[in-house]
Structure 1
Amino acid sequence: MANNNNKDKCNVPHLRFPEFSGEWKKCTIGELAIKVGSGVTPRGGESVYKTDGHPFVRSQNVGLGHLILDDIAFIDEETHLHQKSTELKLEDVLLNITGASIGRSALVNEQVVGGNVNQHVCIIRTKENLISSFLCNFLLSNYGQRQIDSFQAGGNRQGLNFEQIKSIKIAIPSTKEQTKVSKLLQLIEERIATQNKIIEDLKKLKSAITQKLLNDRVLLETRISLGEVCELKNGYAFKSSSYCRNGKYKILTIANVQGNRYISTEDCKTISYLPKDLQEHQVLRENDILISMTGNVGRVSLCNDGHYLLNQRVGLLAPKIKEVEFLFQVLASEHFEQSMIACGQGAAQMNIGKSGIDGYMLPFSRKSDNMNHIAKVLQAYDNCINTNVKLLDYLILQKQYLLSQMFI
């Protein structure tokens, strides 16, 4: 890989394989495509979807460089024949053109070949001088995304039409260089997919071990009410009018309690001053255990550090015992979350209260060493998962860097 320090003097990217030279050719997608178009949603919507047949790709199936096929829909042969013009071919480029996921792009693989798309997904089929995987990565790069954003009035990312897509400017090298760039990015994407699988498997393994340990009647010989070992404290009912941008104090809501070991502190609401009637427990400390009281009820997280405020939809579980890590591991288990969901059902809005939490029967031991042993084992799995999540973040950053440096 070679740096091009004279990028401004010629039409080439900042980062380039050393065996290639010469300027890239400036074109538009319309000049390099033989098809730009989307499909339609069958009359009847989801009611006509089948459990097998022709794959039907929707916007939620198009990720950032890969397809997400966990919830792929299918249509029957008759419906497919009515949409024959949108039949997918291998290596077609798919681009989301409406909604919050505008700009996400992926390639058609063997799993969806012969399928169709709905009106929210555009098919771009390229000529021989544009490698489809090169175009897919270009659309995900800063250069592609900036042009997609530029078409959206006021930055709302409402929708793209086919003429706008055809007008997107792209610079291309030889097909040989396009292929090499694409293969490098594909290898990184495959490594990201592998890393996601590693994390998923570690979480499944931890869940299985958690279930086994918490049901071990030798280590945990009794069951006691959760209310005996911790106290539920309420958050503060902040008025929406008190929220401001870039305020001094950050407020944690249920959006920040995602069931991970630590809270997500991104996109916190903020206020500029502290209410006079704010209670001491509503100003969080490091390692406070938070629980979602509505929405995704029963999800818990640890507070990474202090200096956050707690709103009324999130509860604080204040431990009365010293085995805080053990308590957290029990509350983070799938069994606890499912129990809280069961408690919250039946209301117009899913929510739980003090009685539901106090009534949960906690696996417990009178021997502190037993609980500390379990906590130490499960915390080791958390540490391993967190290490792999950080590695995943680095891989994603690496891909983002290459996307910003290898295209123009």
Structure 2
Amino acid sequence: MVRSKANDVIIPCSGETAEDIATARCVLNGNILLGGDLNIIRLHGYDGAFMSYQLNGRRKYDIAKVAQGVSVVHLYGEHLKGVKTINPCLEEQKKIAKLLSLLDERIATQNKIIEDLKKLKSAIIENVFDDKHSERLQLDNVGSYIRGLTYSSNDVVEHGGTLVMRSNNIVNGSLLDYNNNVVFVNKQMSAEQQLQNGDIVICMANGSSSLVGKSSFYDGNWHSPITVGAFCGIYRSKEPIVKWLFQTNKYRRYIWNSLQGGNGAIANLNGEDILNMSFSIPNAPIKDTCVKMLTSVDSALENNISLCALYTLQKQYLLRQMFI
């Protein structure tokens, strides 16, 4: 073990992938014990924070290229010597590091706001849907279940066709993710399989039982036909409050109980499991107030998530452009 000096930059010596270990951190304080599985870059006349930001930007890929190994990837000091950096004067380095540090702080603050809103939402939901209410709502009385679209790998196309939402597009308790890992298929869906505004998309089968039952809602904003894959299902209802029933602890207990006793490699639910669920809900005047309140919290949450994503994109852009 080695004691740090303020301004040191550290990079892991080994990891599962080259991208994992190509991550630099600045040690702001001296006399900290550093483990033996770290590359320590001791700088003279350079700002450590600036250097770590640069190495985590465009230089990250240069570092990944010189890492060696297959199952375990190694990176040592001699590998790092060939990585070239671009360094303005020390004063300019400190200004750039300060700017990026402030952006990091803003992203951290934004993430804290998001976590607090999630906790608020969860607390409201559990308070609204506790068992003290006499009125009960069973899902098959206010909605229907639709199976997802079955397709093969031969049906998948690069562009055009029907957009299919799969388990990895379901962001539990939030909007569907249309932007990452999407699949288009050249296959006709039925009219009822086309997603409609307000639909709940549910993961019905997955190799990981912890993912089965997770749900997202569709806001109707996709510009072309969209459906879900065969391992997912759609719950459709005109009753606004059902959107939040899928985010209760009681719903999660229903899912857990439904999965017990399964003997397949893939944990799965069926439509009846969903439709047979029953929940305690408040009476009409209070229910309408709760819908408005939860809609407001959801809107604030989505807005803050979008803002955090913009700050992150801004940081990524700066890291790419500043160190060309």
Out of 105, 109, 114, the residue aligned to residue 33 of structure 2 is: 114
Structure 1 residue 327 displacement after superposition? 0.7
Distance 1:117 1:199, change over 3 A: farther
* 1:137 matches 2:56: no
The equivalent residue for 1:293 is: 204
Out of 228, 234, 243, the residue aligned to residue 156 of structure 2 is: 243
Structure 1 residue 239 displacement after superposition? 1.0
Contact map agreement 2:165 2:183 (CA 8 A) in 1: yes
The equivalent residue for 2:316 is: 400
Distance 1:362 1:113, change over 3 A: farther
Contact map agreement 2:204 2:232 (CA 8 A) in 1: yes
Q: RMSD of the TM alignment (CA)?
A: 3.0
Distance 1:94 1:334, change over 3 A: farther
Contact map agreement 1:93 1:135 (CA 8 A) in 2: no
Bigger drift between 240-249 and 132-141 goes to: 240-249
Give the Cα separation in 1 of the matches to 2:34 and 2:298.
40
Structure 1 residue 251 displacement after superposition? 1.0
* 1:177 matches 2:92: yes
The equivalent residue for 1:34 is: none
The equivalent residue for 1:215 is: 130
Residues 178-223 of structure 1, C-alpha deviation per residue, up to 9 Å, x if partnerless?
2222122111111111111111011011111111111273xx4322
Distance 1:132 1:210, change over 3 A: same
Q: Which runs of 5+ in 2 are unaligned?
A: none
Out of 111, 114, 125, the residue aligned to residue 196 of structure 1 is: 111
* Identity level (%): 26
Q: What is the letter of the counterpart of residue 269 of structure 1? A: V
Structure 1 residue 113 displacement after superposition? 4.3
Give the secondary structure class of the aligned counterpart of 2:303.
Answer: helix
Structure 1 residue 129 displacement after superposition? 2.1
TM-score, length basis structure 2: 0.83
Distance 1:342 1:178, change over 3 A: farther
Give the Cα separation in 1 of the matches to 2:196 and 2:63.
43
Count of residue pairs brought into register by the alignment: 308
Give the secondary structure class of the aligned counterpart of 1:94.
Answer: strand
Q: What is the letter of the counterpart of residue 25 of structure 2? A: A
Structure 1 residue 115 displacement after superposition? 5.3
Give the secondary structure class of the aligned counterpart of 1:231.
Answer: strand
Q: What is the letter of the counterpart of residue 241 of structure 1? A: N
Distance 1:134 1:252, change over 3 A: same
Residues 4-63 of structure 1, C-alpha deviation per residue, up to 9 Å, x if partnerless?
xxxxxxxxxxxxxxxxxxxxxxxxxxxxxxxxxxxxxxxxxxxxxxxxxxxxxxxxxxxx
Contact map agreement 1:93 1:133 (CA 8 A) in 2: no
Give the Cα separation in 2 of the matches to 1:200 and 1:301.
18
Give the secondary structure class of the aligned counterpart of 1:172.
Answer: coil
Q: What is the letter of the counterpart of residue 190 of structure 1? A: E
TM-score, length basis structure 1: 0.67
Q: Choose between structure 1 and 2 for higher RCO, CA contacts under 8 A separated by at least 6 residues.
A: 2
